[in-house]
């Protein structure tokens, strides 16, 4: 019986410390800031799932990226070559995400109707992805072609 009372007293002291900690406004702000940061990561991962589920081009780009990484391991590319490949992959996928976000927002804003300004925005965003993909192709050729030939 004595152990239960000691445990209960220890729990009450611990609870009092937590309440005391959270009564300081500054500590509560820190906790809220931390919770918001964690929540923002969950939103970002949700966006990744949406990107690869709902954007066929992103899925194709992911498959190509995985192929490039596997090929990089198989061909034992250097650290500098890895950096170039990783940056190219990241750039293409990031621009695809931005392009998809812009297209979704544009479609919502114009209610799926074709508006000349919306078409221009969507075309420019797609051009950004194309430029990044062509640059990634050039990186791939420079890195992998000499090792294959």
- Summarised one tens digit per residue, pLDDT across range 26-77 is 666 667 777 888 888 889 999 999 999 999 999 999 999 999 999 999 999 9
**Are residues 59 and 18 part of one domain?**
no
Residues 121, 96 share a domain: yes
Distance CA 47, CA 41 (A): 10
For the chain, what is the mean pLDDT? 89
**C-alpha dist (Å) from residue 96 to 34, 76, 90, 126, 134:** 29, 28, 10, 8, 13
**Tokens 């979704």 correspond to what residue?**
104
pTM for this entry: 0.76
**Band of pLDDT at residue 133, cut at 50, 70 and 90:** very high
65 and 36 part of one domain: no
Is 47 in the same domain as 69? no
Three-state DSSP at 5 gives helix
**Which residues touch 128 (CB under 8 Å, ≥6 apart)?**
95, 98, 99
How many domains does the structure of the chain reveal? Answer: 2
Greatest extent of the chain over all pairs of C-alpha atoms, in Å: 80
Task: Tell me the residue range of the domain where 22 lies.
Answer: 1-53
């Amino acid at each position: 019986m004595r152990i239960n009372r000691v445990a209960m007293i220890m729990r009450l002291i611990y609870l009092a410390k937590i309440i005391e900690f959270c009564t300081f406004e500054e500590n509560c702000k820190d906790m809220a800031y931390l919770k918001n940061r964690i929540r923002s990561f969950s939103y970002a991962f949700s966006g990744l799932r949406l990107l690869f589920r709902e954007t066929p081009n992103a899925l194709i780009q992911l498959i190509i990226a995985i192929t490039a990484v596997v090929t990089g391991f198989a061909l034992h590319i250097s650290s500098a070559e890895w950096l170039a490949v990783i940056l190219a992959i990241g750039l293409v996928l990031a621009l695809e995400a931005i392009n998809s976000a812009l297209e979704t927002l544009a479609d919502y804003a114009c209610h799926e109707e074709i508006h000349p300004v919306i078409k221009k925005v969507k075309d420019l965003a797609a051009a950004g992805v194309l430029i990044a993909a062509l640059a990634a192709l050039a990186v791939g050729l420079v890195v992998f072609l000499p090792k294959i030939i």
